[in-house]
A and B are shown apart, each in its own frame.
Chain A
């Protein structure tokens, strides 16, 4: 067993991980572990922008941004966290500019800003220009700029080190009211070096999870192949709850049939959606802000148009994103990458032809619960000292039941920075938690079981069946029947997973093994998502139940918290315990969500 010792270990090298590393690396001895290379992370695929009330092009303030974020999340947002994010957004953007990020500029040379869905002037009066951007590759520029600054600060990376376990110990402790409980303490992580196949243990005072989302449980997704919910899965298996996992964002404009993202910036720049009759159908669903309504509303409207027979194409299964009324020069200046995607992958010329689009699984609003310092919760009242999470893997919760466009690039910067600072400051005074003798035992067992798997089931086949059922039954529209059916499919897939075969038996770059391990996490996460979705008998944000089409604040204005618990059963699924956590309110009373 090879053991490394760092004050802070960061798991994941996307935007949140590297933003944390820049802070932590200057304060404490820090290592960043990633299963990819840092610049391959999926932050780089984000396109449209990062909102902050800079008011560079029109009147704006962070309070309006806070309100939009809370309303956009259908009031399931923790309002203290949304305030922090909207307030610190301004510095987050200015930090990036000072680090060198090449934002587009106004004629005066200031950072330019454009419109984005759900971001409005004065509490919903009209769309506001709040998104700071660099053409339609803002995420690419953020990822590059953060990596550049990690190079500048000599951040230590362990590339292609796949973290598979979190070392957590439990100590007897007593709450303020005198009740005893088990306090979790973090000792480090265990990782698998993809190049050599060797196991490395990293002892750390602080661990920051920043390993991204879980989009690959779906077939149609904008997510990378590598986004398999590893960080959430590791935490869950170690008894840490997962919050609000039923809430997944389906981005309205994925390239039809492929799921590749076409930024909302297209609609921010004036593009509109049309059905097979040529109608601008969003006029009917969101009369005030139309095509710039939040993503859950637009995605549902599109799916409804298709369901009612107004879809386009040979199978009438998509709608059209129309940019043909925009000047080609304007498209080239503001949306060069996404128009190239349409040309490359669908052979469609966006200057003259509308682009076939359909909702694509995009973002997990839920994840590892944290407070506004980035500290991970082991239950509603207790943090785990030294354990932090930020970005898509985390749920702080600033996105509630539906994230507004651009708020994820903001989230990773604001809460990545906070987590990095807090992790390093904690490590300065904390004691080391001893690493157990057999710290790598569970990981070795996991890896060797998979490597020696000689069953009859193919990993790719099981994954495809999982993704097919999730697309068919847990997407934009959900019912008790569709969710129950999916739980049955998942249960049978989990059985068949015990009988997989892995052909590559080697140690060097065994990506066959990697995919099999990833499938294990996907199956766990799909089950948690579906159980939570079945339990939530209401419709809110990205979670729409056709059998319960209204929001139910009396029974469901609360976060869901899913725990791994062998003694429990939820919705006839053994091993999952579902609890709730109150939503934090500061000054915004829930209202009907209309746009």
Chain B
């Protein structure tokens, strides 16, 4: 992030557009098979797989396929979604074995010659089909005190912060709390007490904010046996993050900060 307000260059009133710019031709259609892990304890304690054969178009996403299955085939198919463009964090799920947002995963980027498997994210209790209980996830988030804590007098105007200091924690402000990272972490799968990557990312966002005065308290919390030291640096979280946050790097920086403050 640069702080300069560079004056934009005045663009030309008219330009020659390259031929065919900005538009493809006919929208291609293709058939896909969606294999969805179903579970509804009102009906059965056992889960099962359902297959939906669907005709999809051009840049359709996995979410479009799920909607088509629900709207045209089986209304009981249940999943969360809201914004449908990767900013609300509702529709993290396991697609072909990888955690992603259904609204940000284009079908054409998957191998559509084979069935596309969709299941709930792992490590959180499944409530119904693709819906999990998010409460344990948000509990960990709340424990790291995810809010600015500052001592001393509040200024009448804004606190000053240099562009460099603001840049220091920019990456971890992008988190949308979708749980794709935490539920991709093998440590979290076996130890539900582990804070998990998302909580650490959100702690990082405050620990490295020059305006915050409670970094030591957060580092103390994360120095716990269920804290940062459980991380085994498998990078699953970084790969899973739909916002491109360098999650493993953030965790490493928090580890380093814990060590530095102990000296």
Contacts and interface: CB of A to CB of B under 8 A. Distances in A.
Contact of A278 (B5, B17, B59, B148): B17
Contact of B162 (A109, A274, A283): A109
A135 interface: yes
Contact of A102 (B21, B71, B169): B169
A151 B162 CA distance: 27
A322 B148 contact: no
A37 to B, nearest CB: 7
Interface in A485-520: 502-504, 506-512
Interface in A92-116: 93-94, 97-100, 102-112, 114
A280 B88 contact: no
A40 interface: yes
Given A141-B173, A144-B173, A278-B16, A312 B9 contact: no
B136 interface: no
A344 B86 contact: yes
A354 B13 CA distance: 15
A137 interface: yes
Given A94-B158, A225-B82, A325-B9, A148 B42 contact: no
Nearest to A107: B3
A313 interface: yes
A148 B138 CA distance: 12
Contact of B88 (A45, A103, A195, A353): A45
Contacts of B82: 36, 40-42, 224-226
Contacts of B86: 341, 344
Interface in B7-65: 8-9, 11-17, 21-26, 40-43, 59
A195 B12 CA distance: 56
B26 A314 contact: yes
Contacts of B25: 314
Interface of B is mostly: loop
Nearest to B163: A105
B9 A224 contact: no
A412 B72 CA distance: 37
A200 interface: no
A334 to B, nearest CB: 8
A461 to B, nearest CB: 8
B100 to A, nearest CB: 12
B82 to A, nearest CB: 4
A25 interface: no
Nearest to A356: B22
A355 B22 contact: yes
B148 A99 contact: yes
Nearest to A114: B5
Contacts of A137: 87, 174
Contacts of A39: 88-89, 176-177
A107 B17 CA distance: 37
B166 A105 contact: yes
Contacts of A506: 40, 42-43, 76
Given A45-B87, A274-B15, A313 B159 contact: no
A97 B166 CA distance: 12
B8 A224 contact: no
A320 interface: yes
Interface string A205-248: 00000000000000000001110000000000000000000000
Interface residues of A, number: 90
B38 to A, nearest CB: 12
A41 B177 CA distance: 12
B2 A44 contact: no
Contacts of B70: 460, 512
B124 to A, nearest CB: 13
Contacts of A573: none
B147 A503 contact: no
Interface in B49-103: 59, 67, 70-72, 74-76, 78-90
B146 interface: yes
Nearest to B130: A509
A313 B23 contact: yes
A152 B24 contact: no
A460 B88 CA distance: 23
A140 B23 contact: no
Given A97-B159, A312-B21, A506-B76, A42 B11 contact: no
B22 A320 contact: yes
Interface string A169-192: 000000000000000000000000
A270 interface: yes
B18 to A, nearest CB: 8
A35 B42 CA distance: 22
A22 to B, nearest CB: 11
Interface in A313-365: 313-314, 318, 320, 322, 325-327, 329-330, 333, 337, 341, 344-348, 353-356
Nearest to A149: B147
Contacts of B173: 102, 134, 141, 144
A458 interface: yes
B230 interface: no
A341 to B, nearest CB: 6
B4 interface: yes
Contacts of A258: 59
A509 B127 contact: yes
B85, B142, B154: which has the most chain A beta carbons within 10 Å?
B85
A44 B1 contact: no
A272 interface: yes
A568 B212 CA distance: 59
Interface string A351-389: 001111000000000000000000000000000000000
A98 B24 CA distance: 47
A274 B212 CA distance: 45
29 contacts: A37-B90, A40-B83, A40-B90, A45-B87, A94-B157, A98-B159, A102-B169, A105-B166, A106-B163, A107-B163, A111-B158, A112-B5, A140-B87, A270-B11, A272-B11, A278-B16, A322-B11, A325-B11, A329-B2, A330-B2, A333-B2, A355-B22, A459-B75, A502-B75, A506-B40, A506-B43, A510-B78, A512-B70, A512-B76
Of all A-B residue pairs in the complex, the 10 with the closest CB atoms, nearest first, are: A270-B8, A100-B148, A313-B23, A503-B75, A460-B71, A109-B160, A504-B76, A512-B75, A152-B147, A148-B147
Interface of A: 36-37, 39-42, 44-45, 57, 93-94, 97-100, 102-112, 114, 129, 134-135, 137, 140-141, 144, 148-149, 151-152, 195, 224-226, 258, 260, 269-270, 272, 274, 276-280, 283, 312-314, 318, 320, 322, 325-327, 329-330, 333, 337, 341, 344-348, 353-356, 458-460, 502-504, 506-512
Given A94-B157, A313-B23, 20 more contacts: A40-B88, A42-B88, A44-B87, A104-B1, A105-B161, A106-B163, A148-B147, A151-B147, A152-B147, A224-B82, A269-B8, A270-B8, A279-B14, A325-B8, A341-B85, A506-B40, A506-B42, A506-B43, A508-B127, A509-B78
